[in-house]
Amino acid sequence: MKQHLKKIISTPKLAIGIASVIALSVGIASVVSHKNALSRRTAEIGALSSSTAQSASQDLTLAFATGGRIKDVSVKIGDTVKAGTVLASLDAENAIGAINQAKAAYLVAQTNYNKLMNGAFTPDIAVSQASVDSASAALSNAKQNLQNELTSAYNNVKTAVLIGTNNSFNNPQSLSPQFFISDTVQTNPDLVNKVNNERQMINSDLAAWQDEVSSISDNTVNKVVDDSLNYSAIVRAYFVDFISLLTNYTQVTRESSRATLNAYQLSAASQKSAVDATYDSINLYAQAVKNAQFSLAQAKAALALKQAPARSEDLEIAKAQVQSMEGALQIAQSAYNNTIIVAPIDGTITNVSITAGQIAIPNIAAIEIVSHK
Which domains are present in the chain? 2-92+339-372 (2.40.50.100), 122-308 (no CATH)
Terminal-to-terminal C-alpha distance of the chain: 70
Could you give the CA distance from residue 205 to residue 166 in angstroms, rounded to a whole number? 20
In one-letter notation, the amino acid at residue 331 is I
pLDDT in tens, the chain (373 residues): 445 445 544 555 555 555 554 544 544 444 445 455 445 544 444 444 444 444 445 799 999 999 999 999 999 999 999 999 999 999 999 999 999 999 999 999 998 888 887 766 677 788 888 999 999 999 888 888 888 888 888 887 777 776 655 544 444 444 444 444 444 445 666 777 777 777 777 777 777 777 777 777 767 777 878 888 887 888 888 777 777 776 666 555 556 566 766 777 777 788 788 888 888 888 888 888 888 989 999 999 888 877 777 778 888 899 999 999 999 999 999 999 999 999 999 999 999 999 999 999 999 999 999 986 6
Q: Report CA torsion sign: 244, 245, 246, 248.
A: positive
Tell me the CA distances in angstroms from 65 to 5, 150, 282, 334, one per residue in order: 79, 83, 79, 10
| Helix spans in the chain (H) | 2-10, 12-55, 93-118, 122-164, 189-214, 221-249, 255-307, 312-337
C-alpha 277, offset from chain centre: 45
What is the distance of C-alpha 122 from the center of its chain?
21
Cα torsion angle, 250, 256, 262, 264, sign = negative
